[in-house]
A and B are shown apart, each in its own frame.
Chain A
Amino acid sequence: GDSVTQMEGPVTLSEEAFLTINCTYTATGYPSLFWYVQYPGEGLQLLLKATKADDKGSNKGFEATYRKETTSFHLEKGSVQVSDSAVYFCALRLMDSSYKLIFGSGTRLLVRP
């Protein structure tokens, strides 16, 4: 069935380090892909999205490219800040009539000053 696999955390980095959080998916058809971020005790916020192969989503210095050939949507940021500490979720949107989201298990990022 459809699924999303994320790298396990926590990921611990120093401020200004380069970030990569891996995400791969299994799905029929051509799903839309999303990255959401969750700060402690809060709901999820959309970080970026991509709707078709080779699309690059970007927001707040974060980027992810929809790679159909490798079924991946890895999240990257060139220089992380302490304020980026959060849990990041990769998700795909089913293209059937339900429009449901399938989430990965989340990756906790901790950025140290």
Chain B
Amino acid sequence: DGGITQSPKYLFRKEGQNVTLSCEQNLNHDAMYWYRQDPGQGLRLIYYSQIVNDFQKGDIAEGYSVSREKKESFPLTVTSAQKNPTAFYLCASSKSGDSPNEQFFGPGTRLTVL
């Protein structure tokens, strides 16, 4: 079945450490997105990529980095510069183009900084 996988589901990190969250999709989608969700709040866009080897900052990119070397993969690195990294991270993908193509979401990774 086609879909989006994120790993791991739970992740613990010590302060000062970088950590990389995985996101893989087999939907053949061109566009991929990373969101952050805090308790009781909506989703905020961190980074997005519309094509391989290209990505753009979202609304809250500071302290995060991404790469898009393959169409299927869009890993997110949470660096030590991110001041408050504990959150639920969601990856999504969509077709690109002018059609109102919906975004499909992965199951999420919950990151806790100890």
Find out whether the CB atom of B90 lies under 8 angstroms from the CB atom of A44.
yes
Q: How far is the CA of A18 from the CA of B35 in the complex (A)?
A: 32
Q: How far is the CA of A93 from the CA of B107 in the complex (A)?
A: 21
Q: How far is the CA of A101 from the CA of B100 in the complex (A)?
A: 10
Q: Which of B4, B42, B96, B98 contacts A106 (CB 8 A)?
A: B42
Find out whether the CB atom of B43 lies under 8 angstroms from the CB atom of A43.
no
Find out whether the CB atom of B48 lies under 8 angstroms from the CB atom of A100.
yes
Q: How far is the CA of A61 from the CA of B94 in the complex (A)?
A: 25
Contacts of B41 in A (CB 8 A): 105-106
Find out whether the CB atom of A43 lies under 8 angstroms from the CB atom of B48.
no
Say yes or no for B102: interface residue by CB 8 A criterion. Answer: yes
- For chain B, the bracket of interface size reads 20 to 34
Say yes or no for A69: interface residue by CB 8 A criterion. Answer: no
Task: List, sorted by A's number, 9 A–B pairs whose CB atoms are closer than 8 Å.
Answer: A43-B90, A43-B92, A43-B105, A43-B108, A44-B92, A99-B94, A100-B45, A101-B33, A106-B41
Find out whether the CB atom of B42 lies under 8 angstroms from the CB atom of A100.
no
Q: How far is the CA of A42 from the CA of B9 in the complex (A)?
A: 10
Chain B minimum-CB-distance residue to A103 = B42
Chain A minimum-CB-distance residue to B43 = A103
Contacts of A103 in B (CB 8 A): 42-43
Which of B43, B58, B94, B101 is packed against the most chain A CB atoms within 10 Å?
B43
Which of B42, B50, B56, B90 is packed against the most chain A CB atoms within 10 Å?
B42
CB distance from B29 to the nearest CB of A (A): 11
On whether A98 and B43 interact (CB within 8 A), knowing A42-B107, A44-B90, the answer reads no
Chain B minimum-CB-distance residue to A50 = B100
- Other A-B pairs, 18, CB within 8 Å; known A98-B48, A100-B33: A43-B6, A44-B90, A44-B92, A46-B104, A49-B100, A49-B102, A51-B100, A89-B43, A93-B100, A95-B98, A98-B56, A99-B94, A99-B96, A100-B48, A101-B43, A106-B40, A106-B41, A106-B42
